[in-house]
């Protein structure tokens, strides 16, 4: 259970400064053991922070402006529970690397500014990806793992979400510079995303189009714009929720792929079993590929058992295999297996 508080110790502010707003401290700590083996490499056993849900802490605040309007913020920092350092990939070198935004909300919808996860990232306040039971965690089974095309988080972003119209909500996002905006506009990497999500009765579905123009890519003669479309569909039958997901991706001098996923969430034994299988085919024109044709598939299963409302045990097993251009890729996401046992606590 999250705790609302007047965050004196955290924010170093007076009681009066927070009297008119509601500030919430929240977080997730996940730690476990991963056993994995990539093709042509040794088996490794390691302690892993955030294998499914990234370890993080954050602050949320909101102030009621009256007449149905409010202003709020989200500040979220990732860290490695093994060391206590903010060396998580999304937060290294940043104070609030997972999310840092100010927003205004009202009858018109929600308008936010700052750093946040993209529409298909599976992370943050504006993500709307659906259709894959295992989600964007659990290692090689993540929908956003390296075999696909994903856009994680962006800096200098503007995001807008409409109100829900009978279950339909539209989203748009733009970033003036996915990493920095210290160059002129024409030299920054720009992100563009539009999407629609429908959630009513037993159905949940989303359709997302995204692009990054990669204008400041070094060492290439040709600009490499990346495009991706993600579609997801879920139908809740009660104890079983079958799901379908599809991704089309295209990049000049890069990956041109189709990825399909069939998965399900099943309530069993007091917890949730998550199972999924996906297949990818297409081309990879990257210079490191021995063959421009690529194929990849993986299967995975996870079980999440709640010990309480805030604490859960997690287990996972996954296997990946690739052929043609990715046949000898020495990365467990492409070729190998993973086993995981861990615990997640949220506050």
What's the CA gap between 120 and 201, in Å, rounded?
23
pLDDT at 242: 98
> Could you report the per-residue pLDDT of 205-235, keeping only the tens digit for each?
999 999 998 876 555 445 688 999 999 999 9
What's the CA gap between 20 and 296, in Å, rounded?
54
Burial of residue 235 (number of CB atoms within 10 Å: 0-12, 13-18, 19+): middle
- Is residue 211 within 8 A of residue 224, CB to CB? The reply is no
Sequential pLDDT tens for the chain (347 residues): 444 443 434 444 434 344 446 999 999 999 999 999 999 999 999 999 999 999 999 999 999 999 999 999 999 999 999 888 887 667 667 889 999 999 999 999 999 999 999 999 999 999 999 999 999 999 999 999 999 999 999 999 999 999 999 999 999 999 987 765 566 677 778 999 999 999 999 999 999 999 998 876 555 445 688 999 999 999 999 999 999 999 999 998 789 999 999 999 999 999 999 999 999 999 998 755 567 899 999 999 999 999 999 999 999 999 999 999 999 999 999 999 999 999 999 99
pLDDT at 182: 60
What's the CA gap between 152 and 209, in Å, rounded?
14
DSSP line for 72-102? EEEEEEE--TTT--S-STTTTT-SS-SEEEE
Q: For the structural domain made of 3-346, what CATH number should be given?
A: 2.40.160.10
H or E element, residue 38: strand 22-38
Q: Which residue has the tokens 């009202």?
A: 106
Q: What residues does each domain of the chain span?
A: 3-346
Three-class DSSP category at 194 = strand
- Is residue 180 within 8 A of residue 157, CB to CB? The reply is no
Largest CA distance in the chain: 65
Three-class DSSP category at 330 = coil
Q: State both tokens at 29.
A: 């700590």
pLDDT at 183: 61
């Amino acid at each position: 259970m999250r705790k609302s508080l007047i965050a004196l110790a955290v924010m170093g502010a007076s009681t009066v400064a927070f009297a008119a707003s509601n500030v919430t401290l929240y977080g997730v700590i996940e730690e476990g053991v991963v056993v994995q083996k990539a093709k042509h490499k040794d088996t490794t056993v390691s302690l892993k922070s955030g294998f499914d849900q990234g370890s993080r802490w954050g602050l949320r605040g909101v102030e009621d402006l009256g007449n149905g309007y409010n202003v709020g913020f989200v500040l979220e920092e990732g860290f490695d529970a093994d060391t206590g350092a903010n060396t998580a990939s999304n937060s290294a070198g940043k104070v609030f690397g997972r999310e840092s935004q100010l927003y205004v909300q009202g009858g018109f919808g929600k308008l936010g500014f700052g750093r946040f996860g993209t529409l298909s990232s599976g992370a943050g306040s504006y993500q709307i990806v659906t259709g894959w039971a295992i989600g964007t965690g659990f290692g090689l089974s993540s929908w956003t793992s390296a075999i696909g095309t994903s856009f994680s988080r962006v800096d200098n972003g503007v995001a807008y979400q409409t109100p829900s119209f009978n279950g339909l909500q539209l989203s748009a996002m733009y970033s003036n510079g996915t990493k920095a905006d210290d160059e002129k506009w024409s030299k920054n990497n720009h992100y563009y995303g539009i999407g629609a999500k429908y959630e009513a009765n037993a159905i949940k579905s989303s359709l997302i189009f995204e692009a990054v123009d990669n204008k400041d890519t070094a060492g290439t003669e040709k600009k490499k714009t990346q495009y991706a479309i993600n579609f997801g569909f879920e139908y809740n039958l009660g104890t079983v929720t079958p799901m379908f997901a599809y991704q089309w991706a295209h990049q000049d001098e890069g990956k041109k792929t189709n990825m399909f996923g069939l998965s399900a969430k099943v309530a069993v034994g007091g917890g949730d079993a998550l199972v999924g299988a996906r297949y990818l085919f297409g081309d990879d024109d990257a210079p490191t590929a021995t063959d421009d044709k690529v194929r990849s598939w993986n299967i995975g299963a996870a079980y999440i058992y709640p010990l309480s409302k805030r604490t859960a045990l997690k287990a996972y097993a996954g296997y990946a295999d690739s052929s043609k251009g990715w046949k000898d890729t020495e990365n467990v996401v492409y070729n190998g297996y993973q086993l995981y046992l861990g615990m997640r606590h949220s506050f």
